Structure 1
Amino acid sequence: MAKTIFKTTEKSNFILNMTEEQYSKLASRGLIAAMLAVPLFTIIPEVTDKATYAFSAGGLAVGGVICMILALIALMKKYIGKGAVIPVCAMGALVGWGVISLINGYDLNISLYGYPNRGEGLLALMFYFGFFTTAAAIKREKAIETLINGIVGVGLLNSAVSLIQIFGINDHYQFASFDYEIMAASGLSMSPIFLAMVLTLALSAALIGFVTSENKKRRIIFICAAMLFSFVMMFTYTVIGICGLVFSLIAAVIAVFALKAPKVRLVSVIGSGAGAGMAVILVCMGVIGNITGYRTYDGRIAWWADAYMRAAASGNFNSSVINIDDPVDVYTYMNEKTMNIIGKNPLTGTGPEQLAFPQVYKVDDLTEIEDIVTANDGIFDKTYNEYLYTAATRGIPSLAVLALALIPALIMGYKAFRRRKNAEAFTAFVLTLGGVLMFFISCSSIAYAPVFWAAAGTACAYVETEKEKKSAEKLAKKNTKANKKA
């Protein structure tokens, strides 16, 4: 008989009567909605000047609320496996210490909601907890497959917009400087760097899906998606885009051998490489913009086009201090300066999204935070190493609990693949590994984080194999017979 409380109807108590299968189905769809919310909301500021990128943060809030509710249901129903307790608690501690960092930060409002046009304040951390916990509670393989399809879908949505930017008009990233017209793609991820991160996960999922799927239609969609993703990734003109492409191709090759897929499906690697090659050829032929050679523009994109021009979150770069055209020089400078900031406040950091604030050296008569920040040349708001960024903005304790979430997720993901030996488990592990590695050379964003934390949570999910299900059914029958005899 279905459970009810306070003599209410069965339908009004659907949470009490929800099965693991029903929850998994609902959770996978909720996570897909959450992953799509930010890019869909970003369409508005991309097509009109009447809306800022705070609108994108509204998309995160919508998806975050959905997953916070689902996470609460998972905790109530005790769907979190024993192995996932440590990473889930670590994610909770990340939010908890974020509150302490918020209180000690420079600006409480920005600590809570995030910097305008960025949106990764304390509320975002709470939503990331919801994404991770919801995914960790999934109990069915089919739901994980649905979630993987959703990640590919996010990549397709971003890539469709990126094609318009590459061959059409690109307001934010048409120029890497006043001289270089490069038509860089940002999709609906707000920055080419963040787009490269999103597409790394989407490309990995598509390639592994093609290699392992027995469904012909699914394979056709995935190979076409993989070629498109590879093509677009090269138009991010970033180191992370190239690294992400290489990582995805290696993952596909390993998938063929680890999952004993037909060797002929290695054609996906060739096809994906061809997509990237075509992008480079178009650039070298002078078809795109006014350049005739391909190279990366990390410094100009990250510091000038994104942080300074689009988000008003940093000052302009100082050419007498760094070589903006040398990614190693730019990233090394940012990391070294960030480590100095960590040393000054190692316990609680600067406050969420406030890395630029301790670098400000003049205020004059300015009152708006965007005007103050942009008036200070040589300061930046993001360091492209998420681990350093976490320690600098939210303190070393936050970095410690972040490691307590990510390392167990990697271990559990690998063990899940060894136990289940299927494409879904392998994909969850690969996406988590890719995200952990990318955090060494890039940073989180509201466009990327929902995808990553959903994948990382899925790596922690405990899904029973058919053999384990049969053993459990046999044990249940034995117990039932024993109870009847008693």
Structure 2
Amino acid sequence: MAKTIFNTSEKSNFILNMTEEQYSKLASRGLIASMLLVPLFTIIPEVTDKASYAFSAGGLAVGGVICMILALIGMMKKYIGKGAVIPVIAMGALVLWGVISLINGYDLNISMYGYHNRGEGLLAILFYFGFFTTAAAVKRETAVKTLINGIVAVGILNSAVSLIQIFITNKHYQFVSVDDEAMAASGLSMSPIFLAMVLTLALAAALIGFVTSESKKRRILFICSAALFSFVIMFTYTIVGICGLVFSAAAAIAAVFALKAPKSRLVSVLAAAVPAALAVVLVYAGAIGNITSYRTYDGRIAWWADAYMRASASGNFNSDIINIDDPVDVYTYMNEKTVDIIQKNPLTGTGPEQLAFPQVRKVNDLTEIEDIMTANDGIFDKDYNEYLYTAATRGIPSLIALVLALVPALLIGYKSMRKRKSAEAFTAFVLTLSGVLMFFISCSSIAYAPIFWAAAGTACAAIEKPKKKEATEKSANKSVKAEKEAAEKPAKKNTKAEKKA
């Protein structure tokens, strides 16, 4: 009999009566919606100047609320496995300490909602908790499979827009410097670096999907998607993109041997390598913008084209201090300055999304925050090392909480992969590992985080096979068969007796 509260109807108590299978199906769809909403909302500021990229944060808010509700249901129904308790608690601690950091931050409004062209304030961290916990509460392998399909779909959506940016029109990254017209792709991720991070996860999922899928149609879809992703990722002109391409190809090779797939599917490596090589050839042929050689533009993209020109979140770079064309020099400088900021306020940090604030030297008579930031040359708002960035903006306790969420997620994902030996478990572990490694050379964003935290949560999920249903069906089939045989025996004996007579 269905459970109800206070004699209400069964339909109004659907949460009480929700099965693990129903929850997993609903959770996977909610997570996919959350991953797609940010890029879909980003279409508006990409096509018109009437809306800022604060509009994109609206997509995160809608998806975040959906997943917060699903996360509460998952916790109420006790669907979160014992192994996932520590990382879920760590994610909760990340939110709670974020409140302390918010109170002690420079600007409470930015601490809560994030910088208006970034959107990663405390609310975003709360939503990330919702994505992670919802995914960790999933109980069915089919739900994980659906989620992986959603990650590939996000990659396709971003890549389709990127092709327009590469070959037709490009709003923010046509020029990566005053002279270099590179037509860098950002898709619907707001920055080429963030796009490279998104496509790394999508590419790894597509390649592993091709290697492991038994369906011919799915293999065709995955291999075509992988070719598209590897082509586009080269037009981000970033170290993250190149590293992501190599990592994804290595993951596909590992999947062939770990999951005992046909060796012929090693062709997936070519599906990644050939389109990437084609992208480089097009650049050298002078078919893209006005450049005739391929190289990375990490420093110019991160500091000038994105933070300074698009987001108005930082000042222009100082060429007397750093070599903007040397990514190592740029990232080393950012890391060293960030460490200095951590040392000045190690406990609560600067406040969410306020890394640039302690670097500001002059305000003059300026009142708008964007004008203040762009007037201060040499300051930056993002450190492309998420671990240092977390410690600097939300304090070392937040960094500890982040590590306590990620390391157990990796360990649980690895154990689950060894135990289940399924394509879904392997993909969840690989995507989590990819994100953990990328955080050393890049940082979080509202376009990337929903995908990563959903994947990391899935790696922690205590997946159960619906054995009871299968066992019931088998026993029912056996009993029916036994009844038929029992009914046939007397009939055979009567036939023999009639023949003798």
TM range (shorter): over 0.9
The 3 A distance-change label for structure 1 pair 471 and 237 is: same
The TM-score with structure 1 as length reference comes to: 0.96
The number of equivalent residue pairs is 474
| Cα displacement (A) at 1:464 | 2.3
Q: For the Cα contact (< 8 Å) 2:140–2:465, is it kept in 1?
A: no
Aligned mates of 1:89, 1:223 — CA distance in 2 = 38
Aligned mates of 1:40, 1:232 — CA distance in 2 = 19
Counterpart of 1:32, as a letter, is I
Give the equivalent residue in structure 2 for 1:162. Answer: 162
Partner deviation per Cα, 1:67-91 (whole Å, 9 max, x = no partner): 0000000011111101100000000
Aligned mates of 2:247, 2:342 — CA distance in 1 = 30
| Cα displacement (A) at 1:467 | 7.5
Counterpart of 2:377, as a letter, is D
The 3 A distance-change label for structure 1 pair 473 and 402 is: farther
Q: Aligned pair 1:454/2:437, yes or no?
A: no
The 3 A distance-change label for structure 1 pair 215 and 324 is: same
Q: For the Cα contact (< 8 Å) 2:2–2:10, is it kept in 1?
A: yes
Aligned mates of 1:103, 1:267 — CA distance in 2 = 54
Q: For the Cα contact (< 8 Å) 2:111–2:352, is it kept in 1?
A: yes
SS at match of 1:8: coil
| Cα displacement (A) at 1:266 | 0.7
Give the equivalent residue in structure 1 for 2:439. Answer: 439
| Cα displacement (A) at 1:466 | 7.0
Runs of 4+ in 1 over 6 A off after TM superposition: 466-474
Q: Aligned pair 1:139/2:171, yes or no?
A: no
Greater C-alpha radius of gyration: 2
Aligned mates of 1:36, 1:204 — CA distance in 2 = 18
The TM-score with structure 2 as length reference comes to: 0.93
| Cα displacement (A) at 1:105 | 0.3
Give the equivalent residue in structure 2 for 1:373. Answer: 373
Q: Equivalent residues in 2 for 1:229-248 (5 A)?
A: 229-248=229-248
Q: Equivalent residues in 2 for 1:281-430 (5 A)?
A: 281-430=281-430
Q: Equivalent residues in 2 for 1:5-404 (5 A)?
A: 5-404=5-404
Aligned mates of 1:171, 1:221 — CA distance in 2 = 30
Aligned mates of 2:272, 2:246 — CA distance in 1 = 10
SS at match of 1:85: helix
Partner deviation per Cα, 1:45-85 (whole Å, 9 max, x = no partner): 00000000000000000000000000000011111101100
Counterpart of 1:115, as a letter, is Y
Aligned mates of 2:400, 2:470 — CA distance in 1 = 40
SS at match of 2:236: coil
SS at match of 1:443: coil
Partner deviation per Cα, 1:6-33 (whole Å, 9 max, x = no partner): 1111111100000000000000000000
The 3 A distance-change label for structure 1 pair 468 and 204 is: farther
Partner deviation per Cα, 1:345-404 (whole Å, 9 max, x = no partner): 000000000000000000000001111011000000000000000000000000001000
- Structure 2 residues not aligned, in runs of 5+: 475-501
Q: For the Cα contact (< 8 Å) 1:145–1:424, is it kept in 2?
A: yes
Aligned mates of 1:402, 1:43 — CA distance in 2 = 31
Q: For the Cα contact (< 8 Å) 1:420–1:465, is it kept in 2?
A: no
Aligned mates of 1:4, 1:162 — CA distance in 2 = 50
| Cα displacement (A) at 1:472 | 12
The 3 A distance-change label for structure 1 pair 350 and 472 is: farther
The 3 A distance-change label for structure 1 pair 468 and 337 is: farther
CA RMSD of aligned residues (A): 1.4
Residue range with higher mean Cα deviation, 95-104 or 3-12: 3-12
Aligned mates of 1:468, 1:109 — CA distance in 2 = 51
SS at match of 1:190: coil
Partner deviation per Cα, 1:156-185 (whole Å, 9 max, x = no partner): 000000000000110200001111000000
Give the equivalent residue in structure 1 for 2:483. Answer: none
